[in-house]
């Protein structure tokens, strides 16, 4: 569910891909900001991307949603007015998520559920972190959620695994060769899908 947003103007084919990078953890002592900062630096080096960081710690969406046909509360309407246009304007998404109890944080599911059309016919990539699995179980569950919302998830993802490729004290992954290669691979797929789907939406509006 979301407030009504204006339809973004169709960009030129060679315009930078607008990527909303969503930081999906809000807990105290979180590592998410460090992971997001590292990813933004690595993605900026790839080029051709217009990156917009959306930190859910700054998005005050309530858990209680209005009934069908109802209106959002003033608190929800204010939060949606800030975040919904940014999601609608994005050509693609990158979700930065930890893994909590074999899944992803509730605050991330809440953001997803408050929106619908904003996700449709757009690609999503993932950067995950935490534990021996590097957050990959959270990513697998997110793939199911985004499939229901008519989004396309790219095959390759970026995962930071425990002491092997997790962030060091300097905020840089311990295995930079592997992680930077993973970023380039994931963004290569995201860019291909992002440009293809952007052109498709411009010529034939998606009927979800």
pLDDT digit string (tens) for 139-174?
999 999 999 999 999 999 999 987 666 888 888 888
pLDDT digit string (tens) for 65-123?
999 889 999 999 999 999 999 999 999 999 999 999 999 999 999 999 999 999 999 99
Question: How many other C-beta atoms lie within 10 A of the C-beta of residue 137?
Answer: 18
pLDDT at 9 (0 to 100): 55
Using CA atoms, how far apart are residues 126 and 94, in angstroms rounded to an integer? 5
Of all helices (H) and strands (E), which one includes residue 31?
Answer: none
pLDDT at 34 (0 to 100): 94
Share of the chain above pLDDT 70, in %: 93
Sign of CA dihedral 25, 30, 34, 39: negative
Query: What domains sit in the chain, N to C, each tagged with a CATH number?
Result: 17-203 (3.40.50.360)
- Backbone φ and ψ for 193, nearest 5 degrees, come out as -65, -40
pLDDT at 7 (0 to 100): 46
Chain position carrying tokens 């997803």: 112
Using CA atoms, how far apart are residues 88 and 81, in angstroms rounded to an integer? 11
Using CA atoms, how far apart are residues 79 and 62, in angstroms rounded to an integer? 9
- Please state, rounded to an integer, the average pLDDT across all residues of the chain: 92
2 pLDDT band, cuts 50/70/90, is very low
The whole-number average pLDDT for the span 28-45 is 95
Bridge-based pairing of strands 152-153 and 92-98 is unpaired
SS3 content of the chain, % helix, strand, coil (to 5): 45, 20, 40
Q: Is the pLDDT of residue 53 over 60?
A: yes
130 pLDDT band, cuts 50/70/90, is confident
3 pLDDT band, cuts 50/70/90, is very low
Q: Is the pLDDT of residue 135 over 90?
A: yes
- Backbone φ and ψ for 121, nearest 5 degrees, come out as 55, 40
| End-to-end C-alpha distance for the chain, whole angstroms | 14
pLDDT at 208 (0 to 100): 79
13 pLDDT band, cuts 50/70/90, is confident
Q: Is the pLDDT of residue 1 over 70?
A: no
- Backbone φ and ψ for 51, nearest 5 degrees, come out as -95, 135
Please, where are the H alpha helices in 97-175? 106-113, 136-148, 162-165
pLDDT at 6 (0 to 100): 41
Number of H helices, E strands in the chain: 6, 6
Question: How many other C-beta atoms lie within 10 A of the C-beta of residue 10?
Answer: 12
Cβ-based neighbours of 170, under 8 Å, separated by 6 or more: none
Share of the chain above pLDDT 90, in %: 80
Q: Do 90 and 52 meet the contact criterion of CB atoms below 8 Å apart? A: yes
């Amino acid at each position: 569910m979301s407030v009504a947003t204006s339809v973004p103007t169709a960009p030129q084919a060679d315009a930078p891909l607008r990527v909303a990078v969503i930081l999906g953890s809000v807990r105290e002592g979180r590592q998410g900001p460090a992971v997001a900062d590292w990813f933004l630096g690595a993605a900026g080096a790839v080029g051709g991307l217009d990156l917009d960081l959306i930190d859910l710690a700054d998005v005050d969406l309530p858990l209680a949603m209005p009934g069908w046909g109802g209106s959002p509360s003033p608190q929800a309407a204010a939060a949606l007015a800030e975040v919904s246009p940014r999601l609608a304007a994005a050509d693609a998404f990158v979700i930065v998520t930890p893994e909590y109890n074999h899944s992803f944080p509730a605050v991330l599911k809440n953001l997803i559920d408050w929106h619908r059309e904003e996700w449709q016919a757009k690609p999503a990539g993932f950067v995950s972190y935490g534990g021996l699995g590097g957050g990959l179980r959270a990513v697998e569950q997110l793939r199911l959620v985004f499939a229901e919302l008519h989004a396309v998830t790219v095959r390759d993802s970026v995962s930071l695994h425990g002491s092997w490729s997790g962030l060091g004290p300097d905020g840089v992954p311990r295995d930079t060769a592997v992680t930077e290669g993973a970023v380039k691979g994931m963004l290569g797929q995201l860019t291909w899908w992002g440009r293809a789907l952007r052109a498709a939406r411009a010529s034939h509006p998606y009927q979800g």
